[in-house]
Amino acid sequence: MNMRRVVMTATVLACVLGLAACGDSDGDGDKGTGGPGSGAGGSSAAQGGGADKGRTGTPLAGVDPCTLLKPADVPQLSQDDYTQPTMLAVPGKPTCSGYDFAVEINDGGADVHDMEFHSSQAKALPDIAGHKAVMTETKTGAARDCAVSLDVTTEEYVRVTVTAGDSPAQTCDIAKKAAEVVAGRLSS
């Protein structure tokens, strides 16, 4: 049982860091093919102009992502006491990693932000607590994760990633619930 938890945590971390690494390219990687014209059906959320209203900067600089989501906030997340979320020091991407979720604050600049919200893999969601939101789903073998990114400024966003545990079909629903909690804390 403990080995399964270690593997799941490693999978979440690998997916989060893998997605983050894709955002660091100058547009020549796999994600670079999805420009502003691609996205989810041309909705206004996918095309920009969402909740950020053109704000720039990094208002979340210095914020501990572990303060944005606790497992108890979403009952479907692992509630085991021995798997408390921990802060990972990733330059430019402070990340809080729990057993079956991760919260990442990304301040990689306008190009990285644009790729996150306009890639061909990003599916536009309705705004969450006033933040433009997109969702991406990744399947690697039997592992499945779902990430919801929330717009903060034109250069900064928060990504909430949930890895499938006992109910893979509900992964994206759980990720949306977790993103609602995070968005509520961002707005307060």
Domain boundaries, the chain: 2-187
Tell me what pLDDT residue 123 has: 96
- Are 154 and 112 in contact, with CB atoms under 8 Å apart? no
Residue 187 is predicted with a pLDDT of: 79
For residue 135, list its beta bridge partners.
Answer: 123, 148
pLDDT of residue 87: 85
Token pair recorded at residue 58: 């990094």
The pLDDT, as a whole number, for residue 56 is 58
Nearest to 78 by CA among 65, 69, 87, 89: 69
pLDDT along the chain (188 residues), means of 10: 42 44 40 34 36 58 90 90 81 87 91 93 95 92 89 93 80 95 90
Three-class SS of residue 30?
A: helix
3-state secondary structure (DSSP) of residue 66: helix
Q: Residue 59's pLDDT is what?
A: 76
CB 150 within 8 A of CB 133: yes
Rounded distance, CA 127 to CA 132, Å?
5
Predicted model pTM: 0.70
Tell me what pLDDT residue 121 has: 93
